[in-house]
Amino acid sequence: MIGLHSNKVIKQKERGWQMSANVYTIENLLVGKTYKSRTLTGEIIDAEKSDVFYGSGLESYRVQVRPHYPSVFNLKDTYRILSVKVGE
């Protein structure tokens, strides 16, 4: 089965067919994930790259977090800084 699939891909490349791949950004991957700390649990609804430096091989992102239970405690959206390991 693997050999047949590989031959199909090779034939597509020989014919000049364009192969497509999904391209994701770190910002897109963060949005929709759950953020959890000692003081806050919620959903990340927005993310943008930040200039905060955590070290080499890390990038920082400012994320907007919407608490899971905003109406009970009258909580509003808040912002946090995350570091993301990149480059491997």
Domains detected in the chain: 22-85 (2.30.30)
All residues at 6 or more sequence positions from 67 whose CB lies less than 8 Å from its CB, including other chains: 40, 41, 42, 73, 75, 76, 77, 78
Whether the predicted pLDDT of 3 surpasses 70: no
List, for residues 52-73, the tens digit of each pLDDT value.
888 899 999 999 999 988 666 6
List, for residues 72-85, the tens digit of each pLDDT value.
667 789 999 999 99
The phi and psi torsions of 59 (rounded to 5 degrees) equal -120, 150
